[in-house]
């Protein structure tokens, strides 16, 4: 047998390892690097979030020059858990976010200062709204009521007024349970946002349910297979929304994947899976993502430059024969 004529064996594809690129699905912006993720983590955890306002109706929102993002999703999607992880606060009291599904009944604005100093507190006997003392260079995260089971139609009317008309709103993050996938109301909301040209982005929550079968971390091959399945899920979500909208265009969008419960690894138990990437996406949406490295050992410094409802997901009945969908990322 002439071994020189035997073709070489094909090399096995390299196993995927956990990173921003393999965990998330980026089509629009470049995946954040380690320095950017560290900056985002520092920005959100430098100080406790400030409850700036609570509004049951859109007309009650204060006038503001601060950039805002909104988080919305079905009841029990894990929105409150993610927001607590986003703010780096395990205490619900500190973060002012309820852990009980469906408890968010108003639109609540939380200020993230990035460690910037707030204005002086009012003198004794005087009252001043917290948002008036909020520093330029920060951003506002708006916690929206959940839609679906246990929600009320009037909450949806006011929520849609906010999403469609709030000038300060830079992006709406629509949360989807990765384990259960898109529901009819998710498809309707995402399609509506896309048709209206409202900047939005999907966040798949609870991805640890797909990646980890138990408390023990998966081995290299199982982790790689889980990441491949996650990429396939993101692809099917995009295709589904393209079919639903039916305008002949393919949506270019980034899909973020995260878990508020599972840590990145044993050495970084305080860092939850994919949460820093969500933080970075918020800063990117608000125009606060530019950083300058002063010294690798001494930390980071930011160059911050503050930069009619016809649809209601709370009340529209589920359509028939609808498939999985996703969203368009308009920045």
In the structure, what pLDDT confidence band is assigned to residue 270 with cuts at 50, 70 and 90? confident
pLDDT band at residue 290 under the 50/70/90 scheme: confident
pTM: 0.81
- Residues 6 or more apart in contact with residue 170 via CB below 8 angstroms: 67, 68, 69, 199, 285, 286, 287
Provide the pLDDT for residue 4: 57
Q: Is the pLDDT of residue 5 over 80?
A: no
> What are 205-254's pLDDT values in tens digits?
999 998 887 767 788 899 999 999 999 999 999 998 988 887 777 778 89
Across 5-19, 99-113, 236-250, 263-277, least confident range: 5-19
pLDDT at 310: 60
- SS3 annotation, the chain: CCHHHCCCCCCCCCCCCCCHHHHCECCCCCCCCHHHHHHHHHHHHCCCCEEEEEECCHHHCCCCCCCEEEEEEECCCCHHHHHHHHHCCCCHHHHCCCCCCCCCCCEEEEEECCCCCCCCCCCCCCCCCHHHHCCCCCEEEEECCCECCCCCHHHHHHHHHHHHHCCCEEEEEEEEECCCCCCHHHHHHHHHHHHHCCCEEEEEECCHHHHCCCCCCCCHHHHHHHHHHHHHHHHHHHHHHHHHHCCCCCCCCCEEECCCCCECCHHHCCCECCHHHHHHHHHHHHCCCCEEEEECCCEEEECCCCCCCCCCCCCCCCCCCCCCCCCCCCC
Above 80 in pLDDT, residue 15? Answer: yes
pLDDT in tens, 52-102: 999 999 999 988 889 999 999 998 899 999 999 999 986 544 445 555 555
Contact 121, 133 (CB under 8 A): yes
pLDDT at 299: 45
Mean pLDDT of the chain: 80
Least confident residue range of 18-22, 223-227, 313-317:
313-317
Give the CA dihedral 192, 194, 195, 196, nearest 10 degrees: 80
Partnered with residue 71 across adjacent β-strands are: 143, 173
pLDDT in tens, 144-166: 998 875 555 655 788 999 999 99
Answer yes or no: is pLDDT of 43 > 80.
Answer: yes
At residue 22, does pLDDT exceed 90? yes
Q: At what angle do helices 34-45 and 275-286 cross, to 10 degrees?
A: 80
CB–CB of 109/70 below 8 Å? Answer: no
* 190, burial (CB in 10 Å: exposed 0-12, middle 13-18, buried 19+): buried
Query: pLDDT-derived band of residue 331, with 50, 70 and 90 as boundaries?
Result: very low
Residue 9 CB burial class (10 angstroms; 0-12, 13-18, ≥19):
exposed
Higher pLDDT, 34 or 252: 34
Counting residues of the chain whose pLDDT is more than 70, the rounded percentage is 73
| pLDDT exceeds 80 at position 11 | no
C-alpha separations of 103 from 100, 195, 242 in Å: 6, 30, 33
Name the residue with higher pLDDT: 80 or 297. Answer: 80
The per-residue pLDDT for 123 is: 58
Pairwise CA distance, residues 201 & 171, whole Å: 7
111-132 pLDDT tens trace: 999 988 777 665 554 545 677 7
pLDDT in the model for residue 216: 75
Say what the pLDDT of residue 92 is: 46
Fold of 15-114+128-302: Rossmann fold (3.40.50)
Q: What distance in Å separates the CA atoms of residue 60 and residue 128, rounded to the nearest whole number?
A: 16
**Every domain of the chain and the residues it spans:** 15-114+128-302
């Amino acid at each position: 047998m002439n071994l020189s004529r035997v073709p070489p064996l094909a090399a096995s594809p390299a196993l995927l390892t956990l990173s921003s690129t393999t965990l998330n699905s980026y089509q629009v912006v470049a995946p954040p690097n380690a320095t950017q993720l560290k900056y985002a983590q520092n920005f959100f955890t430098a100080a406790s979030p400030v409850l700036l306002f609570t509004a049951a109706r859109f007309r009650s929102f204060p006038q503001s020059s601060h950039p805002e993002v909104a988080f919305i999703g079905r009841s029990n999607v894990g929105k409150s858990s993610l927001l607590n992880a986003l703010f780096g606060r395990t205490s619900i009291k500190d973060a002012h976010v309820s852990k009980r599904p469906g408890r968010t009944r108003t639109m609540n604005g939380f200020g993230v200062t990035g460690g910037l100093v707030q204005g002086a507190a009012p003198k004794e006997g005087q009252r001043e709204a917290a948002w008036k003392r909020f520093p330029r260079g920060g951003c506002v995260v708006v916690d929206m009521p959940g839609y679906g089971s246990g929600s009320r139609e009037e909450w949806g009317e006011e929520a849609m007024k906010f999403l469609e008309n709030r000038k300060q709103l830079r992006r709406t993050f629509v949360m989807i349970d990765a384990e259960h996938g898109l529901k009819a109301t998710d498809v309707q909301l995402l399609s509506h946002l896309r048709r209206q040209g409202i900047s939005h982005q999907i966040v798949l929550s609870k991805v640890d349910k797909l990646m980890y079968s138990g408390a023990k971390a998966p081995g290299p091959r199982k982790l790689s297979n889980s990441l491949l399945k996650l990429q396939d899920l993101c692809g099917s979500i995009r295709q589904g929304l393209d079919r639903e909208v039916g305008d002949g265009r393919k949506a270019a969008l980034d899909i973020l994947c995260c878990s508020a419960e599972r840590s990145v690894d044993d050495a970084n138990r305080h860092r939850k899976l994919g949460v820093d990437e969500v933080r970075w996406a918020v800063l990117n949406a608000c125009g606060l993502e530019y950083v300058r490295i002063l010294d690798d050992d001494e930390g980071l410094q930011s160059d911050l430059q503050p930069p009619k409802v016809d649809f209601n997901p709370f009340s529209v009945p589920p359509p028939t024969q609808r498939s999985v969908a996703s969203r368009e990322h308009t920045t």
